Amino acid sequence: MPVWMLLTALLLALPAYALSPVAARHGMVASSEPLASQAGVEILQAGGNAVDAAVAVGFVLAVTFPQAGNLGGGGFMLIRMANGDAVVVDYREQAPAAASRTMYQDAQGNLIPDATSAGARAAGIPGTAMGLALAEEKYGKLGLKRVMAPAIRLAREGFPVSYSLAQALHSERARLEKYDDSRRIFLHDGHLYEPGATFLQPELARTLAEIAQRGPRAFYRGVGTKAFEATMRKYNGLISRQDLKQYQAKLRPPLVGRFRGYDILSVPPPSSGGTMLIEMLNVLEPLDLGTPNSYASIHLIAETMRRAYADRATYLGDADFVSVPVAGLTSPRYAARLREAILQSSPDAPVRAGEPQAFESGATTHFSVVDAEGNAVANTYTLNGWFGCGVTVEGAGFLLNNEMDDFAAKPGQPNMFGLVQGEANAIAPHKRPLSSMTPTIVTRDGKVRLVLGSPGGGTIINIVLQVLLNVLIYKMDILQAVTSPRFHDQWMPDYLTLERVGFSSDTLENLQQAGYPLSFRDSLGDCEAIEIDPASGWRFGASDPRADGKAVGY
């Protein structure tokens, strides 16, 4: 049995009083990698705010968590300042100008195996350097040089390889060894890193130092563009100097929903996360969900998930390119119609996308940060697959994403996560692919209550939903909420996925008898979450025991 399963089973078996989230009076950082969390707290203690700390964490993860932390990917940062101002920094990747609708199909219209997931042609234009720098410029206090110092230090001086990183590098050897710098840097020229070995990344240190000194133009317009062009030529990629020059991170208003007296802040398109989260919470709002992880609870939540994912497949895409009926999908009146259908149907009844227009009024990682003033950041960013497309930008030291797989390479056909996607998410030049990233902040009476998010591909939205429900409905503390077993239903393929550990045999039997086809996974996601006690103001952090992260406070 994997270590995480043993740990989770142990935690679930312990009495409630034995579960203890990390507690802190002032600030808290929860991320998937301990050195990154420690760097965030270092910045908070140096006088930085939550945005300074989040930017520091993002750059450190690019060094210490190369499976998903990145300079060569993109994501979404949700910022909520203590005065109530809130914004989303959208630094999602874009399709290159040379991209085309059918670029991953053969002459017969069939999808070319692995074309969207491996090699330089699978990469979109990265957004991370621009997005983190924009967040620091607009909302930080200390400046790029200071907040990037921990990342530069760790890349230059090295850090001890963790067991999980060593295992990840071993498992992805076949992908990485195809590309010269990936083999040299991440596979140690074929002498694979063992746990405890020091991992030095001098090229990445130079790239980070250039960004710290000159800002994101060093990445998008400076010497970095030469490295990009050379790598694209060598591995037949599409990203051009002009693609890099035109890229812009965007500031967008967050989506805001209401659920049982709480305000739910999350991200808008091109992420589907916020739209679907609010849609599902609207459906569940008046329902009695019963006991957590019981048949009654799973049935109502899973049927809600199925309908939301059917809508995702039909309607969601980059709202800068297609019309997305966000207002209809998040309308309480639309939710009432979906809820009625759930209560009147059985699990084996077919589900299709609804009609929200009638209700219109016109390898990923997550980290959460809260500072002493009450500013909060939820950030999810990604390379998409583990170590992205496998290609390292030569001389620059960082891996590229394989985000082109998040488009509908052929509408109606599933991507690498099994998600079926429609015409709204077809490939187009400079379009941003649809995402499931769901960084979320929950407030009540003007104060932050929860900050959370998770990796997990198409499962992300449902993971965030379940952790949120565990706290707000089932009154679990944040560690119990994060540790609790999870399930996932994404409409197509038509089965209910559950974690192997944590569900009773009676519940599983009832689900099967009701008509749910069941599948099982070792784990779903890696939620990094912070809860603030409304009475005392204490911060409580939880890093998911399914992974090797850490919550650190002060």
pLDDT category of residue 337 using cuts at 50, 70 and 90: very high
pLDDT tens digits, one per residue of 421-437: 889 999 999 999 999 99
pLDDT tens digits, one per residue of 122-136: 999 999 999 999 999
Is residue 353 over pLDDT 70?
Answer: no
* Percent of the chain whose predicted confidence (pLDDT) is above 90: 89
Q: How many CA atoms lie within 13 A of 335 on its CB side?
A: 23
Is residue 272 over pLDDT 80?
Answer: yes
- The Cα 541–Cα 544 span in angstroms is 10
Is residue 468 over pLDDT 50?
Answer: yes
- The Cα 483–Cα 471 span in angstroms is 12
Lowest mean pLDDT across 4-8, 139-143, 243-247, 338-342: 4-8
pLDDT tens digits, one per residue of 163-197: 999 999 999 999 999 999 999 999 999 999 999 99
Is residue 9 over pLDDT 70?
Answer: no
Task: Give the pLDDT confidence score for residue 473 in this predicted structure.
Answer: 97
Sign of the C-alpha dihedral computed for residues 504, 509, 511 and 516 taken in this order: positive
Q: So where are the chain's domains? A: 34-251+366-425, 254-364+437-531
Is residue 15 over pLDDT 60?
Answer: no
Task: Give the pLDDT confidence score for residue 1 in this predicted structure.
Answer: 45
pLDDT category of residue 222 using cuts at 50, 70 and 90: confident
Task: Give the pLDDT confidence score for residue 411 in this predicted structure.
Answer: 85
Is residue 395 over pLDDT 90?
Answer: yes
Q: Kindly give the pairing relationship between strand 250-252 and strand 496-499.
A: unpaired
pLDDT tens digits, one per residue of 288-327: 999 999 999 999 999 999 999 999 999 999 999 999 999 9
Sheet strands side by side (includes 440-444): 22-24, 539-543, 528-532, 447-452, 440-444, 262-266, 255-259
Global pTM value: 0.95
How does the average pLDDT of the chain come out, rounded?
Answer: 93
What are the catalytic residues?
364
pLDDT category of residue 251 using cuts at 50, 70 and 90: very high
Q: Are 442 and 263 in contact (CB under 8 A)?
A: yes
Please give the CATH architecture assigned to the domain spanning 254-364+437-531: Orthogonal Bundle (1.10)
Is residue 19 over pLDDT 80?
Answer: no
Task: Give the pLDDT confidence score for residue 347 in this predicted structure.
Answer: 79
Higher local confidence (pLDDT), 4 or 258:
258
Phi, psi of 409 (to 5 degrees): -60, -30
